[in-house]
Structure 1
Amino acid sequence: MEKKFKTAKESRVSITQLMLPSHSNFGGKVHGGYVLNLMDQIAFACASKHSQSYCVTASVNKVDFINPIEVGELVTLKASINYTGRTSMVVGVRVESENITTGKKKHCNSSYFTMVAKDNEGKNIQVPGLLVTDKQGIRRFSRSIQRKTEGLTRTNFFTESQFKMPDNMDFLEAENLKIAIENN
């Protein structure tokens, strides 16, 4: 019997991988694209585990690269469900690196992946809700709702039909920008 609600702990996923020279960029650090690929994989695994179905990435909310990852370090990615909608889930992903010789750990980045559950025909399907068991879970769920609301507002504000150039001119004056619009 399928559960109507699951805890974040039931779907939590963690992976650790050694960063090799083949993962590096031209600057000698681990390539950000490689890290994003790992993050997407673990978000998929977490969402699929929660929904017990195939999932796709609908969006990624804000990826900040806080600290670089060095070749030779162990990288651990942790993922858990922060929010559940009807067919979507927000998966929080945290990336940490560890220097093998010193044991020093550092937080490298965190991000939030919106994943959507699909059936065999590619149609969206309902996911189990989230059973929150602590204050941290309530905070994460609430923060996901806030991010969702802000994202919708931001997207609508800058659509071509809604954008009002005069309202933004003062704001743009402080930027590294030269405007040279030709009148047609």
Structure 2
Amino acid sequence: MEQMAKPTSQSKTLMTQLIFPLDTNHHDTMFGGKLMEYMDKVAAIAAMRHARMQVVTASTDNLDFLAPIRVGEVIEVEAFVTWTNRSSMEIYVSVHSENLYSGDRKTTVTAFFTFVALDQYGKPAPVPSVMPETEEEKQLHATAPDRHKLRKKRKQDRI
């Protein structure tokens, strides 16, 4: 049975965190691994909102650290489903940091995550397609098949 396409806005997920000293390294900048954990969680929530079932992380790519995040700054981790295949979903995750005293905001990290939806038996399950709404979402949706092909090739090259 064909499922109706879902608008991107239905999967959109946002997490806001204040960065404390325990979140940072000896440079007083945020641990990359801690940030990746937040990104994976937000991406998983976006995927579950879209699929309305269990999901697992299949891959992460194009994880680009663009600027350091400093102790005392606030981060916003945003994720939404950009494109789907049969049972997989590509999720775009972006992180913005904000200095609460100056109000300066910057994009600090972006990445694409791939999640697979699972049925009650733990097997891959079909997911609805996605309907992009904004210009950014439409551009990411249009370029997603090329990223999907690159992921498949990368996986094939490792086998």
Per the normalisation by structure 2, the TM-score is 0.92
* CA–CA distance in structure 1, aligned partners of residues 49 and 154 of structure 2: 31
Structure 2 residue 12 is matched with structure 1 residue 49: no
SS of alignment partner, residue 106 of structure 2: strand
* CA–CA distance in structure 2, aligned partners of residues 53 and 26 of structure 1: 40
Larger relative contact order (C-alpha < 8 A, sep ≥ 6)? 2
Larger Cα-atom Rg: 1
Q: Which residue of 2 aligns with 1:7?
A: 7
* CA–CA distance in structure 2, aligned partners of residues 124 and 159 of structure 1: 22
Structure 2 residue 91 is matched with structure 1 residue 91: yes
How many residues align? The count is 158
Change (3 A) 1:31 1:43: same
Change (3 A) 1:83 1:103: same
Structure 2 residue 26 is matched with structure 1 residue 26: yes
* CA–CA distance in structure 1, aligned partners of residues 93 and 16 of structure 2: 13
Q: What does residue range 102-117 of structure 1 map to in structure 2 within 5 Å?
A: 102-117=102-117
Moved more, 27-36 or 143-152: 143-152
Instruction: Work out whether residues 82 and 132 of structure 2, in 8 Å CA contact, stay in contact via their aligned partners in 1.
Output: no
Residues 18-66 of structure 1 show CA distances to partners (whole Å, capped at 9, x for unaligned) of 0111101122211000000000000000000010011110000121111
Higher strand share: 2
Question: For residue 46 of structure 2, what is the amino acid of its counterpart?
Answer: C
* RMSD, aligned α-carbons: 1.8
- Structure 1 residue ranges without an equivalent (≥5): 161-184
Per the normalisation by structure 1, the TM-score is 0.80
Q: Which residue of 2 aligns with 1:129?
A: 129
Question: For residue 81 of structure 1, what is the amino acid of its counterpart?
Answer: V
Deviation at 1:119, TM superposition (A): 1.7
- Structure 2 residue ranges without an equivalent (≥5): none
